[in-house]
Amino acid sequence: MSTQSRGGVAASLPVRIVAELGNRIQKGIETAGAMIVLAIEATVAAFSDIVRRRFSWSEFLLQAWFMSRVSVLPTILVAIPFGIIVSIQVGGVAAQIGAESFAGAVNGIGVLRQGAPLVTSIMIAGAVGAAITSDLGARTIREEVDALKVMGINPVQRLVAPRVLAALVVAFFLNIIVAATSITTGYILNVGGGAVSSGTYIAAFVSFAQPTDLFLASFKALIFGFIATIVACHKGLTASGGAKGVADAVNEAVVISVVCLAVVNVGLTQAYVMLAPARIA
């Protein structure tokens, strides 16, 4: 290759990189817009069908049972070691500064505000989101979704809306399961290990905990379930390229869901800290 041709290739490389970056940014904006449109359509379809008594409750119950079946046991198995890790770390720091009596407050509130919604979001995105994407993706590549459109059935109304509502209910109860499991695990380790008495542990948690902490955790779980379901449904309905395309859609759905949930979690937490200051015992 001549010097002139090598120079031309080197000069065109930055241009190609910029063009590829621009294409990816454009595709990302288009995907975000499509997900927002899908979220609005699913919300409107769910509310309108419920009001008109045309909502597919059988599909809702089927999806709720399916989501619970694939997520409850993994959630419990993740919540137990999560509670152990938090309890050990909090107990160690409390012992170093001589504040063992506050271990219940720090452990319980930390799990309730951040731990339970975070674990719930991961399980919703990883287990439930992947299952939804693979299911809808398989329907899409088999042209079942196109068949619904030909028959005059709205896929958002028939497939997406029941899954969104089911995910909200499942995420709410998963959050409660994670919080109860993690707090109970921390209680057993601290009280059973003799680090603090049962009354002191519970009194510290009750003194510092607020009802808004539970509302925040539940609200986060609902938002996380909604976002993860919308992302999973969009990726499933836009899957193409056979089995490989469905696998790629599942991977993209999980990654996008986790990133979106992390960003939303930071925003909700900051808003809560500003609007609901911590209680001073």
Sort 51 into a burial class: Cβ within 10 Å, 0-12 / 13-18 / 19+.
exposed
Q: Are 138 and 246 in contact (CB under 8 A)?
A: yes
- Pair of tokens at residue 217: 């955790």
Banded pLDDT at 23 (limits 50, 70, 90): confident
48-56 long-range CB contacts below 8 Å, 24 or more apart? 49/157, 49/161, 55/161, 55/162, 56/158, 56/161, 56/162
Say how far apart CA 164 and CA 155 lie, in whole Å: 13
Under DSSP, the state recorded for 113 is I
Enclosing H/E stretch for 255: helix 242-275
Banded pLDDT at 100 (limits 50, 70, 90): low
Q: Quote the pLDDT of residue 187.
A: 79
pTM of the model: 0.83
Enclosing H/E stretch for 73: helix 57-96
Q: Is pLDDT above 60 for 86?
A: yes
Mean pLDDT of 160-184: 88
Q: Is pLDDT above 60 for 264?
A: yes
Name the H helices within 97-210: 103-110, 116-123, 129-141, 144-150, 155, 161-192, 198-208
Mean pLDDT of 164-168: 90
Say how far apart CA 212 and CA 193 lie, in whole Å: 30
**Percentage of the chain with pLDDT > 90?**
2
Higher pLDDT: 170 or 89? It is 170
Higher pLDDT: 232 or 21? It is 232
Mean pLDDT of 163-172: 90
Mean pLDDT of 12-24: 76
Tell me the pLDDT tens digit for each residue of 191-244: 776 667 777 777 777 777 777 778 888 888 888 889 989 999 999 888 888 888
Tell me the HSE value of 88 on the side-chain side, using a 13 A CA sphere: 6
Q: How many CB atoms sit inside 10 A of residue 153's CB?
A: 13
Q: Classify the C-alpha dihedral 60-63-69-71 as positive or negative.
A: negative
Q: Quote the pLDDT of residue 3.
A: 52
Residue with tokens 């089927």, as numbered in its chain: 62
Mean pLDDT of 133-144: 88
Q: Is pLDDT above 70 for 139?
A: yes
Secondary structure string (H, E, C) spanning 143-171: CHHHHHHHCCCCHHHHHHHHHHHHHHHHH
Helix (H, G, I), strand (E, B) or coil at 200: helix
Helix (H, G, I), strand (E, B) or coil at 280: coil
Q: Are 248 and 241 in contact (CB under 8 A)?
A: yes
Whole-number average pLDDT of the chain: 80
